[in-house]
Amino acid sequence: MSADLIQPFPSISPSTAVHLSQQAPQILQSSSSLSLPYPLSLLTSTETQETWMTYENLLISCLRTGDNEAARRCLDELLSRFGEKNERVMALQGMYEEAVAENDKELGAVMQSYEAVLKEDPTNMPIRKRRVALLRSMGKTNDATAALVELLDASPTDSEAWAELADLYFTQGLYSQAIYSLEEVLLIIPNAWNIHARLGEIAYISATSSESSDRGNTAKVLSDALRRFCRSIELCDNYLRGYYGLKITAKKLLDALPRGGKGAIATSDGDLPPPPVETVEKLHEIATSKLAEIVRRGSAGEKGWEGYDEAELIAARALLDKDEEKVER
C-alpha cells in the first residue's frame, strides 16, 4: 500500500492520484462486507486510524480520476463506520455528490442540502467549507469570497480558510488583499515555507503586472518578494519554488535598482530599503547554481532528491536554458 494513502491528503499530482486510485480494487476487496456499525465494529476488527485515513484518501483519489463506483464504496465504508451525522463524513458525501452531479440543477440540489445542514447547525465547518468550494466551482466568486469572510469571522485561526481566501482574492487581481490573507496564515503557522514563497510570488506578480512608472515602488515590492523567497529557502533546503522565485525576482530587481549610486530610491518611515545591487547579484548567482543542482539531481532521481514535481523541474530547466541562450548570444 502506498504511504500516500495513510497520510493527511496533500495536494498531489494527477499521476499520483491515478496511482492511488488503481489500488482501490485490492483495498476494497480486503475489507469485510460483514463489518458491524460502530461501536460494535471495535469488538470484531483490528481497525486503526490509518484504516479510515486510507479510505478517505482513496475516496478523494477515485473522485479525481473519475472512478465514481470505487469512490462510492469508500464512502459507504465511512458511512457504515462513522454514521451520516459525522461532520467529516458529511463533507465527504457532499464532495461525492458534487463530483457525480451532471448539470447545474443537480449542483443546485447539493447546495440546497448544504444550506439545510447549516440552517440546523451553523457551526458545521466542514460543510461551510464545502459550500464555499461549490460556490467557487459554480463561478460565483463574489459569493464564495463573502461566505469565506463570514466563516473566518467565526473561526479566525483557520489557516486553511485564510489560504483559500488569499487564492480567491488573487484570482480577482486583488493582490494586496491576497497578501494580507497569507500574512494571517503566517501568524498561525509562521514557519510555513510554502506560504512565504507564495507571498513572494504574489508580490512579484503584483510588481510586474503594474504599469506604474513609479520605479521606487516597483523596487520596494520586488525587494519584499526577494525577502519572502529567501525566508522560504531558509526554512526548507532545496525548495525548488523558492529558488526559482529568488532567481527571477533578483533578475527583475537588478533592472529596477539604480546603478553607480545614482538616483537612490527613497523609502518611507518604517520601510526596509532595497538591498544593495551587489547583494542581489550574489543572490541571483546562488539561486542559479542551486536551481541547476536541483534540476540535475532531481531529474536523475538521486536518493534524497525525489519528490519534485516533473512540471516544476521542466519549468526550472527552461529558465536555466533561457539564461544560457542569452549568454551565448
CA dihedral sign, ordered 236, 240, 243, 245: negative
- Structure confidence at residue 70 (pLDDT): 87
Query: What is the mean pLDDT, run by run of 10 residues, along the chain of 329 residues?
Result: 48 65 68 55 61 83 87 89 91 94 93 96 94 95 96 95 96 96 97 97 91 72 96 96 97 84 57 89 96 95 89 94 68
What class is the 113-190 domain? mainly alpha
- Structure confidence at residue 213 (pLDDT): 56
Do residues 247 and 287 touch, judged by C-beta distance below 8 A? yes
What would the 3-class secondary structure string for the chain be? Answer: CCHHHHCCCCCCCHHHHHHHHCCHHHHHHHCCCCCCCCCCHHHHCCCCHHHHHHHHHHHHHHHHHCCHHHHHHHHHHHHHHHCCCCHHHHHHHHHHHHHHCCCHHHHHHHHHHHHHHHHHCCCCHHHHHHHHHHHHHCCCHHHHHHHHHHHHHHCCCCHHHHHHHHHHHHHCCCHHHHHHHHHHHHHHCCCCHHHHHHHHHHHHHHHHHCCCCCHHHHHHHHHHHHHHHHHHHHHCCCCHHHHHHHHHHHHHHHHHCCCCCCCCCCCCCCCCCCCCHHHHHHHHHHHHHHHHHHHHHHHHCCCCCCCCCHHHHHHHHHHHHHHHHHHHC
Give residue for cell 536541483.
294
- Structure confidence at residue 258 (pLDDT): 77
- Structure confidence at residue 127 (pLDDT): 96
Residue 97 CB: number of other CB atoms within 10 A?
A: 18
Q: Where in the chain is the domain with CATH 1.25.40.10?
A: 113-190
- Structure confidence at residue 30 (pLDDT): 67
- Report whether CATH 2.60.40 matches the domain 1-101: no
Residue 140 CB: number of other CB atoms within 10 A?
A: 15
